[in-house]
Amino acid sequence: MKKKDKFKDRYPDKKFDLLPAPVSSIQVQKKNKTRFSVFVNDTFLIGISDSALTRFNIRKGKEITRSLLQSLIDHEEQFAAREYMIGLLSRRDHSRKELYTKSIKKGFESSYLNDILDQLEQKGYINDRSFAEKFVHDKFEFRQWGPYKIRAELAKKGIYGEDADRALNIVLDKEDIVESMFGLISKKKARYLREDPDKRRNKIFDFLRRKGYDSSIILNHLDELLNKIES
């Protein structure tokens, strides 16, 4: 909604009142050489991208009608949405849902976002499968999250069910998971040694569950984990 209002402010009704009228001049914008200012009757009408200039064959003398101006506005809004998504992807990988959600929050219209996302997928800029595998690897390797927590976070990013299971199965195996649990507990050995021995077992179990590890795997190795602390 914010973006819609923003575009409404940039292209108020008085712009349409200037039309129909021929283009009196086209000027390259000083701050961005890929954008152009279009004038009718020597009055600024709209700033457009080089892609709009080419696609709509905007040139001096061409008549700009109200419908053509609306088409230019629609094109510019979609162009801005695409550039926004590409900017996000240049900083880090995003899932399709992440890009959609962030674009909606930015104020872009939902009506054309899926078409843009389809184009980005076709060009290989978005790949939820590779995104999921990298996400699993990074969260397990650097944050030492367990599979349950990783799966929950993937769901928030629009990746769940078989796709989430596939990424987890490709990246993780049982030995990795067990080793990670032992690594986490070893780091907190001093802390757990200060705990009441009667409460130590529950503390370890609760901690690993919060980190996203399966309760059955924790229970199967709980005695070994306790021995690791006490040895």
Section 130-153 average pLDDT: 97
Which residues, 6+ apart, have CB-to-CB distance to 224 below 8 Å? 182
pTM of the model: 0.84
DSSP result, 122-161 = HTTS--HHHHHHHHHHHHHHHS---HHHHHHHHHHTT--T
What pLDDT shows up at residue 77? 94
- pLDDT for 168 equals 97
Instruction: Give the residue carrying structure tokens 């929050």.
Output: 105
Q: Is the dihedral of CA 75, 80, 83, 84 positive or negative?
A: negative
Is 90 exceeded by the pLDDT of residue 99? yes
- For residue 3, name the pLDDT band (cuts at 50, 70, 90): very low
What does pLDDT average to over the chain?
A: 93
Q: For residue range 101-127, what is the model confidence (pLDDT) as tens digits?
A: 999 999 999 999 999 999 999 999 999
What average pLDDT does the segment 172-177 reach? 96
Residue 28: what are its φ and ψ, rounded to 5°?
-70, 130
E-strand stretches of the chain: 21-28, 35-40, 43-49, 63-64
- Separation of alpha carbons 137 and 19, rounded Å: 56
Q: Residue 213: which pLDDT band, with cuts at 50, 70 and 90?
A: very high
Q: What is the CA radius of gyration of the chain?
A: 28
